[in-house]
A and B are shown apart, each in its own frame.
Chain A
Amino acid sequence: MPSASLTVPAQLDSLAVISEFINSATHRAQMSEREAWQVQLAVDEAATNIIQHAYADSDTGVITLQWLIEAGELQITLVDNGRPFDPTQVPAPDIHSPFEDRQAGGLGIYLMHKLMDTVAFEFDDTGNTLVLCKRFAAPNVVSAQRFTLEGRLDARGTTAALAPVNAALAAGARSILIDLQHVTFLSSSGLRALLLVRRSLNERHGALALCGLQAQVEEVFIMTGFAQVFEIFRTAADALAHIESREQA
């Protein structure tokens, strides 16, 4: 269950930081661009309410946010110590009333309800807790792509050997298995290229696994300390099992 938390001063200039924080959650959940925007707006409205209402009389309060991804749902919790303010009790504006009768307030809470699947509020002596949940369409589970490299991964051969892997990365691959059983030699150029693959996948929260290392290749990994950097498995089946467990985490 991926999760993270953040505590910021209850001031309007924290909204940008909160937006970044929520961005990391929607990115991690691989939400669509539209779903991500809906969550952004709902949390922005919730945080604005806390700053402007719960802490209306205070400049020193803080908001603690937490996100949690579980079973196709992103749950965001906002906790503050301001005065009790229950946004779920604010009457919804009549969005069909004509311009002359239209009230300017209440829209933020209305939007929160519209954009999220559930909005729940509770408070006790320690403060207010608001929990917003959004279910999201499961991202297309792309099973790991497997590449079997051949020959010498040295200054000469590495670029060509890794071309299919890099093409898959450019196309957005998230999980890659590189089978080295037919690789007879590995130099620093080859290592560097593998490190770049690993870095790209880490940036998108993906996974890289290596398998089938010949003895002389494995020795290079051990000597350089990279054996502890890469996920290395004896067989392709072990490597795939590892990638699968990572995807479910």
Chain B
Amino acid sequence: MEITHKRMNRADLLSIRGRLDAMHAPALKQQIESLFAEGRYRIVLDLSELEYIASPGLRVLIEARKKARDWKLTDLEGGDIRLAGLPDRIREVFDLTGFTSLFEIFANTTEAVGSF
């Protein structure tokens, strides 16, 4: 797995390539938590190059979103983890596990970053 990070005004963009399984999930968790530690709670995960996801990866996503949403600017605005560019196989796992309705999912990173 490979993660690249791009900082923008509205949000931080993490692009994840390869396999997000039990072996690699801790690295993503660490990367997201280091953004939280800098006070960056608006994160877009670009999953368009993600080849594989297993439950440890899903777990990182849900736990990270819970923490991000705990940070609130106002009642209406705050932190979030939003997703962009789900490949078919990843979407299938999301559908099987009910994750499709748990996240805001965008077609591409432009829309996802723009949503903040």
Contacts and interface: CB of A to CB of B under 8 A. Distances in A.
A104 B59 contact: yes
A142 interface: no
A41 B23 CA distance: 14
Contact of A102 (B23, B62, B96): B62
Interface in A56-112: 93, 95-96, 99, 102, 104-105, 107-108, 110-111
Contact of A16 (B23, B56, B97, B98): B23
B54 A48 contact: yes
B21 A108 contact: no
Contacts of A12: 22-23
Contacts of A52: 22
A107 B97 contact: yes
A44 B97 contact: no
B89 interface: yes
Nearest to A41: B54
A37 interface: yes
B97 to A, nearest CB: 6
Interface residues on A, range: 20 to 34
Contact of A48 (B22, B62, B97, B98): B22
A41 B55 CA distance: 9
Given A48-B22, A52-B22, A105-B59, A110 B97 contact: yes
Given A41-B93, A99-B102, A114-B96, A107 B59 contact: yes
Q: Classify the interface of chain A: helix, strand, loop or mixed.
A: helix
A50 to B, nearest CB: 11
Nearest to A103: B62
A45 B55 CA distance: 7
A234 to B, nearest CB: 50
A111 B62 contact: no
A104 B54 contact: no
Given A37-B89, A41-B93, A95-B98, A107 B58 contact: yes
Given A48-B22, A96-B98, A114-B96, A107 B55 contact: yes
Contacts of A107: 55, 58-59, 97
Interface of A: 12-13, 15-16, 37, 40-41, 44-45, 48, 51-52, 93, 95-96, 99, 102, 104-105, 107-108, 110-111, 114-115
The 7 closest A-B pairs by CB, nearest first: A95-B98, A108-B55, A107-B55, A48-B22, A12-B23, A104-B59, A104-B62
